Chains A and B, each alone.
Chain A
Amino acid sequence: MLSADQEKQNSFQRRICEGDLVIVYERHDAMKPVTVRAGSELQNRFGVFKHSDWIGMPFGCKVLSNKGSFVYLLAPTPQLWTLVLSHRTQILYIADISFVVSFLEVVPGCVVLESGTGSGSLTTSLARAVAPFGHVYTFDFHEQRAASAREDFERNGLTRFITVSVRDTQGEGFPEEFCGKADSVFLDLPQPWLAVPSSGKMLKPDGVLCSFSPCIEQVQRSCEALTTNFTDVRTFEVLLRTYEVRDVKFGSLGGDGSGGAVRKPPCKRKNRPSSDEENNGSMERSTSTVMAKPCPETRGHTGFLTFARLRCS
């Protein structure tokens, strides 16, 4: 990710090389990160895939298993990474991530402080936003988690933009060396209000803070803590609603008089191309329309996002 080297950027010429991280795509909800090693194999329900077959192929290609099934090999992006990373903690998803990056006004060159690092889902997107001149300093009090996050960032080639440290920011605050240096601060802590005073010290004047909390009681206390040094305190909730798209066929009344229309169940796009009409000539005058409806199961809550600006004195 985020390489200045043209060879490592997506292009028609780019080929998968030994050591590359690829996202193996089975379905939109079945993906896996794999580092390509010539002697290795990937085994899944579709069979065995030899990495050596992948080397030299373009990213985005379809590769076959020994059983003739296929998967796609995609180049990693922060968005895909969020979908495949190992959940060591609850993570932030794309709707919250996108909103946070925009509302924190993170642009290339910014210095961003984050606590806690968690599984590094947001950190990866923050790195994309501060590159190529800025830096994300991320803190987690959990040593092992910090180490795993560090490994992940290395794997994604993001170490130039991210520094992971072990620190209890709720207890100790952020390190003094960042005093007045941060453009933005992001808090995802159980008691964010404890880190608010330190965050205020770290921020440049007019700098933006964001606190992510799942519970409204946390928001309440954070907002109270924010009134001392901050202004423009705003709390949001953002959710992503996804849609199912299907080609729905409806029968209609009064076809050939054979007793009304047959209403076939909507056919799921994935399984059937548009061959229904040809194979099934007996279908009464049917019309087919592509329609969309919200997916029945959806995430109902992630967290509240509270933003505030450091007041200019």
Chain B
Amino acid sequence: MGEEEGGHSPNPNSKVTWEGCSVLLDINGGDRLVFARLSPAASLKIGDKKCSLQPLVGCPFGSLFQVETGPKGAHLVLVSSPASSSPGMTEGMDPQEKNDGKLKGDEKDNRALIDDNRAQNLTGEDIDAMRRCGASGDEIIEALISNSSTFEKKTVFSQEKYKLKKQKKYAPKVLLRRPFTRSICEAYFKKYPSRIGFLRVDTLSLLLSMANVGAYSDVLVVDMVGGILTGAVAERLGGTGYVCCTYPGSAPYSIDIVRMFNFSSEICSRIVQTSSSSLLSAQDGDDEDDSSSDPPSNKDNGSMISSDEQSKKSTTDGSPVPVPTSVVNAPPTKKSVNPGMPASPDAIKLWKRRGFSSLIVAAPDMDAWSMVDELLPLLSYSSPFAFYHQYLQPLATCMHRLQTEKKAVALQVSESWLREYQVLPSRTHPHMQMSGSGGYILSGTRIFDS
């Protein structure tokens, strides 16, 4: 299935993978996040072993796999119950150990532990020998535990930690995830925050809410954050309305991250690009009869795309997968619609006449005010906008000018604060490390300036 679609999901909300689909692989409970495309030849290096991704095709998202070393080398095996996989959760513990949130073994502490590197009796050679004899990862872990002179003295919690550490090394687990805005943004923010302009997932979610992105919206976007914003908007539109990515000058920005989403051709066709100068210079259609002309959306799917023009992509197909992996990518099949085709002149004219229904700008390298000044007139009256910036000052200046020039109301500069918690019986507390900043947002609503 999906062959003629070239990697586009046959069902936009499919719960099962298909050949050519984009997946997010979570290795060892978030230690490593890798985007991959499930092409027949795709493989992934985990630890020092290369595993084919073929076993993942046709599996439900959420499936858990474990690396097993067999006679033909390492391969991924579906784990039937991922019960003991969640790090730090109570599910790995014996039930009798958690009564009313109190743990037996609470009286233990670390007074008897001496850090002299002599606790483990098994040597590296012993482990290699076990492996050669075909021992599974789980068997090696058992052996390590029974040969540890300190394991019994550890608290239950640190025994858990020890097991988990060994499991990660000797029996790595791979969780199959469907890439959504949430997971893509989280993965980038964790590994390559600069590629998405340090835009954290909670901030991105706020941008979408504040700009009122929903079905049938025509959203004007300046995406200098790799395409995460464009993808997030397109995901919310679900094949209705349009995401119009605009850019100053002649070359569009890369929106490669859009390819991580499993967008249908329908959704891809709703992502178009055009230069800000062509938007601004478009002939104003004010003289035309408003009601008679055909609306662009909801009628003719392909009408907004000038199909003769090839998408001028600013980047090559070199490394669309951002996280370094050994995954081989299937080239996009010819029949699929590429996201980011140039917007048709008719569409531009129509937007000029009706105005966009939202405006979102994430342009860390541009002067915020000049963007606002130029693009705000393209936004219809009473429509909301949201500008993202990694720094506070440009947004403050921008807000001040918008107030002075009375172009907008409900102006607000805000910052989202996000804290994750460890929740465990008797050991609940915020995470020791957290992100200190997810960026700032200036939001507001354009008013009618007669």
Contacts and interface: CB of A to CB of B under 8 A. Distances in A.
Would you list the 10 A-B pairs with minimal beta carbon distance, nearest first?
A108-B238, A60-B382, A206-B62, A60-B381, A59-B382, A98-B205, A11-B354, A128-B214, A102-B205, A292-B396
B380 A11 contact: yes
10 contacts: A59-B381, A72-B409, A79-B209, A125-B209, A227-B89, A238-B202, A241-B415, A243-B440, A304-B421, A312-B82
Contact of B210 (A75, A94, A109, A291): A94
Contacts of B397: 290
Nearest to B98: A224
Contacts of A312: 60-64, 82
Contact of A2 (B63, B216, B393, B430): B216
A72 B101 CA distance: 55
Interface stretch (A129-137, A149-157, A169-177, A255-263): A129-137
B380 A10 contact: yes
A60 B60 contact: no
B182 interface: yes
Nearest to B424: A223
Interface of A: 1-4, 6-7, 9-14, 25, 28, 57-62, 72-75, 77-80, 94-95, 97-99, 101-103, 105, 107-110, 125, 128-129, 131-133, 183, 204-206, 216, 219-220, 223-224, 227, 231-243, 245, 247, 269-270, 273-274, 290-292, 304, 306, 309-313
Nearest to A228: B91
A12 B351 CA distance: 10
The CB with the most chain B CB atoms within 10 A, among A59, A235, A237, A312, is that of: A312
Nearest to B11: A109
A61 B216 contact: no
B404 interface: yes
A269 B400 CA distance: 8
B448 A240 contact: no
Contacts of B63: 312
Contacts of A243: 392, 396, 413-415, 440
Given A12-B355, A60-B382, A94-B209, A129 B86 contact: no
Contacts of A239: 416-417
A206 B15 contact: yes
B416 A245 contact: no
Contacts of B411: 28
A264 to B, nearest CB: 17
B396 A290 contact: yes
Contacts of A10: 355, 357, 380-383
Interface string B382-401: 11100000001101110110
Contacts of B60: 205-206, 312
Contact of B448 (A6, A61, A183, A304): A61
A220 B446 CA distance: 44
B326 interface: no
Nearest to B379: A10
Given A61-B381, A105-B182, 18 more contacts: A2-B215, A6-B295, A13-B290, A13-B354, A28-B410, A73-B382, A98-B210, A102-B202, A102-B208, A206-B61, A235-B421, A236-B420, A236-B421, A237-B418, A237-B419, A242-B413, A292-B413, A312-B63
Interface string B409-441: 111111111111101010010100000000010
Given A12-B380, A60-B446, A245-B400, A107 B236 contact: yes
B216 A313 contact: no
B240 A108 contact: yes
A108 B450 CA distance: 36
Contacts of B206: 94-95, 98, 240
Contacts of B404: 269, 273-274
Contacts of B239: 108
Nearest to B240: A132
B69 interface: no
Interface string B202-233: 10111011101011100000000000000000
